[in-house]
Amino acid sequence: MKKSRLLYIGIPLAVLLAALTFYQYGYLRIREELNLIREEQESKAKTLEKYLAVIAEQPFLEQKRMVFEEQRKAESANLMSGETYSLAAAALQETVKGIIVSRNGVISSERMGKEEDYQPSSPTIQGEGPGGPKKALPETKAPPKEAKKRFKIVQVSFDFTAPDIGVLRDIVYFIETKTPYLVIRELDVRVRNFRDPRDLMVRLDVAALYGGR
């Protein structure tokens, strides 16, 4: 009777223990592995969505890159070329000299100015007689801080004689409409002989930007 009673108690208990063991080491482990698989699949799905989004944006990004490239080329065209300040100043000097000489101006002296960091300013035009009173040029738009650090001002000065006011007007026009972009920082005009006011003595300071090294 005792053995039968033990069997009646032991068999259900053994079945219960076996069920608990299966639940703990079988079902729970399987469920954990399934959860890991599901999380991995979700992670891969999100990664795939990101890749697809990047691929979908590729034409737009390429178009944007081309726009930036065109803007960079346009900006570079407005800068004086030259690996160093001396080369950039020499290029500017030859450019302005060519404009003056081609309009029958007679140069008496020419000089290179000192290198400067680019700072927004309002240069003036000075003159006496035909040159008129001082006039303020339009203010330049303030650039970002990065541009202030990167760009340098290259400048040259000329003393020359213009045969008449029409020649001087042409010289100023061609300088201010030239590419790369040139700026007249100072223009001082004097009449050589007030009794015969034709020849003009001119001092001209011209500046340009270049990508400083």
Residue where a domain terminates, one of 77, 103, 124: 77
% of the chain residues with pLDDT over 90: 26
Question: Do 126 and 184 touch, CB atoms closer than 8 A?
Answer: no
| CA 211 – CA 83 distance, rounded (Å) | 8
- Residues 71, 93, single domain; the answer is no
Residue range of the domain that includes 35: 1-77
**pTM greater than 0.85:** no
3-state secondary structure of 79: coil
- Residues 110, 188, single domain; the answer is yes
- Residues 68, 125, single domain; the answer is no
For the CA atoms of 57, 58, 60, 62, what is the dihedral angle to 10 degrees? 160
Q: CATH number of the domain that 151 lies in?
A: 3.30.70.60
Q: How far is CA 127 from the centre of its chain?
A: 36
| Residue-wise pLDDT tens digits, 184-210 | 999 999 997 777 777 899 999 999 888
pLDDT value at 43 more than 90: no
| Residue-wise pLDDT tens digits, 78-121 | 788 777 888 889 999 999 999 999 999 999 999 998 888 776 55
